């Protein structure tokens, strides 16, 4: 990959903005289009672009497979944990209004933010991991 200098320079310029845009979509999902799922996919796309231009070994050191595997489960745990916390605070499962008894809509905001973060983490980690799994295999024949 020493030859594609244009690709490498352009990707180096673009990748930070792709990741930043993913975070914007993640945390701005309450107000604009987007949410955890889209943000996770965009974040994964940034890492996949890095892997395609700079090689799988470099990408594996940026996103170590062990850490990515942990993140897959972490996202689901955040989602489920939010549901359990709302139950502990006296509401139903995933009833975010229970998170803030004085102002239920604040509780809703908080709950949706956390839950979307869980979705984003799981989606991004799964996409990166699937790409690693496909790209890491040698040609069958």
DSSP letter at 138? P
Per-position x/- string for 109-138, each x denoting binding to other proteins as judged by CB under 8 A, each - no binding: x-xx--xx-xx--xx-xxx-xxx-xxxxxx
Rounded to 10 degrees, the C-alpha dihedral 34/93/98/75 comes to -40
Q: Let me know: does 132 contact 50? Beta carbons within 8 Å.
A: no
Binder to other proteins among 15, 37, 89, 110 (CB under 8 A)? 37
Q: Phi-psi region for residue 54, left (φ > 0), alpha (ψ -120 to 50) or beta?
A: alpha
Question: Measured from the CB atom, is 20 or 133 closer to other proteins?
Answer: 133
Contact call for residue 72 and other proteins (CB under 8 A): yes
Give the CB-side neighbour count of residue 70, counting CA atoms within 13 A: 4
Nearest to 114 by CA among 78, 83, 86, 63: 78
Binder to other proteins among 48, 63, 98, 99 (CB under 8 A)? 48
Q: In which element (H, E) is residue 2 found?
A: none
Considering the complex, what minimum distance in angstroms separates the CB of residue 74 from other proteins?
10
Contact call for residue 53 and other proteins (CB under 8 A): no
Contacts with other proteins by CB under 8 A lie at 25, 29-35, 37-38, 41-42, 44-45, 48, 52, 55-57, 60, 65, 69, 72-73, 75-76, 79-80, 83, 93-94, 96-97, 104-105, 108-109, 111-112, 115-116, 118-119, 122-123, 125-127, 129-131, 133-140
């Amino acid at each position: 990959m020493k030859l594609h200098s244009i690709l490498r320079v352009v990707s180096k310029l673009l990748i930070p903005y792709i990741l930043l845009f993913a975070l914007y979509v993640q945390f701005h999902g309450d107000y604009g289009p987007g949410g955890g799922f889209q943000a996770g996919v965009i974040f994964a796309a940034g890492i996949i672009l890095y892997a395609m231009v700079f090689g799988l070994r470099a990408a594996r050191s940026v996103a170590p497979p062990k850490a990515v595997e942990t993140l897959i489960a972490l996202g689901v745990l955040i989602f489920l944990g939010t549901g359990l916390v709302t139950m502990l605070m006296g509401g139903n499962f995933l009833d975010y209004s229970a998170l803030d008894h004085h102002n239920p809509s604040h509780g809703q905001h908080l709950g949706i933010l956390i839950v979307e973060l869980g979705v984003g983490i799981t989606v991004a980690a799964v996409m990166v991991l699937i790409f690693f799994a496909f790209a890491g295999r040698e040609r069958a024949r």
